[in-house]
Amino acid sequence: MPIATAAPTGPVNDLLAALLLGLIEGLTEFLPISSTGHLLIAQHWLGERSDLFNIVIQAGAILAITLVFRQRLWALATGLRDAANRDYLMKIAVAFGVTAVVGLPVRLMGWELPDTVSPIAWALILGGVWMLFAERIAERRGDSAHITWVVAVLVGLAQVVAGVFPGTSRSAAAIFMAMMAGTGKRSAATEFVFLVGIPTMFAASGYALLEHFLESGTGGEAWGEMGLAFAAATVTGFVAVRWLLGYIKQHRYTPFAIYRIVLGVALLLWLPAGV
């Protein structure tokens, strides 16, 4: 689970730490830099949090993207008579289904997040290098906005890989998988991945809540702190997504890849061995 460390405690400090974690989650969930990786790194200094806390505040960011895409979602939901809408919704369902079918057994086998920063640092570096390579390959394949069935399946698998290796970034893994598989247009690949993320992360949060209630009831969690972090993630996530959707219309993802590599190297160089 998150990296355990000594951190200031007390009601005010705990609330401030929860607020900061919510802000970090909202800012990083949909940028291709790994929200889980940033949360685990931040918790090295801000104090350990439960898997439930991490997953539920991710739901705050998903709520934000639901609000951003509310018109698109409404158009899809009310346009089922249109063959293109039905096709797109089915591909979202397939991507989500692949994630669930492959990812659930991994969860049931007892997989847990790492308790050290080093694996996250390596995932940041390798993911950044892969992003640079993948974007070059995708550019050679044209600027198609079409989502194929192959893209839908690979996006689902990419989400599982990102969940198993914190620091990979769900959005980065899925977006660049889509681009390499034929959806070369960044905005089209990004929109599809974001829409697939809505049922994926809401389902993950719901499953984590169910697990928690069955095992611990309503005790064992600081619900006020979680609520504050959820709200912060929602607000900052909304702002981050709106900004990113405008940014990628004219720019590449290269700066995010460089940021990942620099952060990963810095973590490996500056953190004590074994952390």
Residue type (1 letter), 86: R
Euclidean distance between CA atoms 97 and 62, whole angstroms:
18
Given this model, what pLDDT does residue 219 score?
65
Task: Tell me: pLDDT of 106 over 80.
Answer: no
> 29-38, 196-205, 208-217: lowest mean pLDDT where?
208-217
> 2-11, 19-28, 208-217, 219-228: lowest mean pLDDT where?
2-11
Cβ neighbours around 174 below 10 Å, total: 31
Domain boundaries, the chain: 11-270
Given this model, what pLDDT does residue 128 score?
93
Contact 35, 185 (CB under 8 A): no
Task: Tell me: pLDDT of 95 over 80.
Answer: yes
> pLDDT tens-digit profile of 159-183?
998 878 877 888 889 999 999 998 9
Contacts of the segment 83-89: beta carbons below 8 A, 24+ positions apart: 88/147
Contact 140, 99 (CB under 8 A): no
Contact 56, 230 (CB under 8 A): yes
> pLDDT tens-digit profile of 231-259?
999 999 999 999 999 999 888 999 999 99
Euclidean distance between CA atoms 138 and 252, whole angstroms:
11
The structure tokens 């990102």 sit at 162
**Would you state the torsion angle of the CA atoms of residues 198, 203, 209, 213, taken in this order, to the nearest 10 degrees?**
160
Q: What length is written for the chain?
A: 275
Chain centre to alpha carbon of residue 95: 15
- Name the band, by pLDDT with cuts 50, 70 and 90, for residue 9: low
- Mean pLDDT score of the chain: 86
Q: What are phi and psi of 184, to 5 degrees?
A: -70, -20
Note the pTM of the prediction, 2 decimals: 0.86
Contact 5, 47 (CB under 8 A): yes
Record the tokens describing residue 149, joined without a space.
Answer: 């069935």
Record the tokens describing residue 164, joined without a space.
Answer: 């198993």
- Name the band, by pLDDT with cuts 50, 70 and 90, for residue 111: low
> pLDDT tens-digit profile of 178-191?
999 989 889 999 99
Given this model, what pLDDT does residue 107 score?
67
Record the tokens describing residue 84, joined without a space.
Answer: 């293109």
Q: What is the arithmetic mean of pLDDT over 189-217?
A: 85
Task: Tell me: pLDDT of 48 over 90.
Answer: no
Cβ neighbours around 80 below 10 Å, total: 10
> pLDDT tens-digit profile of 125-149?
999 998 999 888 888 877 889 999 9
User: Residue 232, exposed/middle/buried by CB under 10 A (0-12, 13-18, 19+)?
Assistant: buried
Task: Tell me: pLDDT of 4 over 50.
Answer: no
Q: How many CA atoms lie within 13 A of 105 on its CB side?
A: 4
